[in-house]
Amino acid sequence: MNKITLFILLVSATISAQTDAKIYDIVDAISADRIKADVKILTEFGTRNTFSDTISSTRGIGAARRWIKSEFENISKGCNNCINVFYQKDLVTKEMGNRVPHDAYVVNVVAIQKGTKYPNRFVIMSGDIDSRASNTMDFTTDAPGANDNASGMAGTIEAARVLSKYKFESSIIYVGLSGEEQGLFGGAGLAKYAKEKGWEIIGVLNNDMIGNITGVDGVIDNRSFRIFSEPVPANETENERRMRRFYGGEVDGISRQLARYIHKSVKMYMPEMNPMMIYRLDRFGRGGHHRPFNDLGFAGIRIMEAHENYTQQHQDRKWHQIWRYF
């Protein structure tokens, strides 16, 4: 069973509150071939840089997000229009960061599968649409981004294909986020949108680089993966900080508890896997699209391969040997 299969399981495990036989059916329904095919399609847009071509039907971020939207819409047709698909966007200007070469809209593709009992309670599963070349400001050079992060986007699409066949009490949001490489703009925009809409977000599962199994150190491991989680909410009040100092709880924040729940669920349903709890927001000095949600007080984690290979991240004109990932 490939590792991306596990990440799809995590969504269903988060929604289900007890041992449920249908989770095994969900795992069995996942297709590694479909995931690999989606990764390949995403690489064939040349570059998915947030500031790349939006007009072409075959190249650039515009073509990529339209394809993702059409995939979600086709999935919705297969479940009697059970998924509402739309774009959510925000304008990003050059003044907003040193990785912004020109003003542009950062556009997310959002697909909502409404819950039967708690329609305003959401589990979010995200992947990143965008890719980048070695030079962050280069939005024309080919940047296929198979691992970073077509793998996470393909996993999110496959989750929608499989989970749309079932009904859940809480709502699920499958989303392709943009602008990750320029400053987590897509996640920040959607987190703000969620706050304004009054969404009750019970968990954000950020799938970022979930496909690689061969580390730069030569280790090959398709069973281990990392779960990053921050210890306490970033927006805790001064009174909450003071109470924590005297009563403890510095490792019991909502994101850390979400990570523990996922860890427990994986060991219950897939004991052959090796989930690794990492007690940090993210890798040292790095960031992911769960962070903007954490900043606003939502529980969110990053799910990621255990053995990174830096030669397959942010490299120009490389297919990243995607066939080895599955």
One-letter identity of residue 67 = W
Q: How confident is the model at residue 11 (pLDDT cuts 50, 70, 90)?
A: low
Residue 287 is predicted with a pLDDT of 87
Residue with the larger pLDDT of the pair 107 and 211: 107
Q: How confident is the model at residue 206 (pLDDT cuts 50, 70, 90)?
A: very high
Q: How confident is the model at residue 17 (pLDDT cuts 50, 70, 90)?
A: very low
Residue 19 is predicted with a pLDDT of 64
pLDDT digits (tens, 9 = 90+) for 119-143: 999 999 999 999 999 998 999 999 9
Residue 20 is predicted with a pLDDT of 80
- The token duo for 195 is 């706050």
Share of the chain above pLDDT 90, in %: 79
At residue 273's C-alpha, the angle toward residues 269 and 276, to 5°, is: 110
Quick one: average pLDDT of 171-186? 97
Quick one: average pLDDT of 74-99? 97
Q: How confident is the model at residue 312 (pLDDT cuts 50, 70, 90)?
A: confident
Residue 211 is predicted with a pLDDT of 87
Q: How confident is the model at residue 116 (pLDDT cuts 50, 70, 90)?
A: very high
Q: Which helix (H) or strand (E) holds 111?
A: strand 104-113
Quick one: average pLDDT of 178-204? 97
Residue pair 206/298 in contact (Cβ under 8 Å)? The answer is no
Residue pair 177/186 in contact (Cβ under 8 Å)? The answer is yes
Q: How far is CA 34 from CA 67, 85, 162, 192, 277, in A?
A: 15, 21, 11, 32, 29
83-112: string of b/e by CB count within 10 Å (b at 16+)?
A: bebeebbbebeeeeeebbeeebebbbbbbb
Mean pLDDT across the chain, nearest whole number? 90
174 pLDDT higher than 50: yes
| Domain boundaries defined on the chain | 3-325
Residue 102 is predicted with a pLDDT of 95
Quick one: average pLDDT of 24-52? 94
Domain 3-325 grouped into CATH 3.90.79.10: no
Quick one: average pLDDT of 104-116? 97
pLDDT digits (tens, 9 = 90+) for 234-265: 999 999 999 999 999 899 999 999 999 999 99
Q: Which helix (H) or strand (E) holds 158?
A: helix 151-163
Residue 27 is predicted with a pLDDT of 85
Residue pair 157/71 in contact (Cβ under 8 Å)? The answer is yes
pTM: predicted TM-score of the whole model, two decimal places:
0.91
Residue 286 is predicted with a pLDDT of 87
* Helix, strand, coil percent values for the chain (each to nearest 5): 35, 20, 40
Residue 321 is predicted with a pLDDT of 44
Residue pair 174/159 in contact (Cβ under 8 Å)? The answer is yes
75 pLDDT higher than 80: yes
Q: Which of 221-230, 293-302, 303-312 has the lowest mean pLDDT?
A: 303-312
Quick one: average pLDDT of 211-235? 92
Residue pair 54/60 in contact (Cβ under 8 Å)? The answer is yes
Count of beta carbons in the 10 Å neighbourhood of residue 119: 13
Residue 317 is predicted with a pLDDT of 57
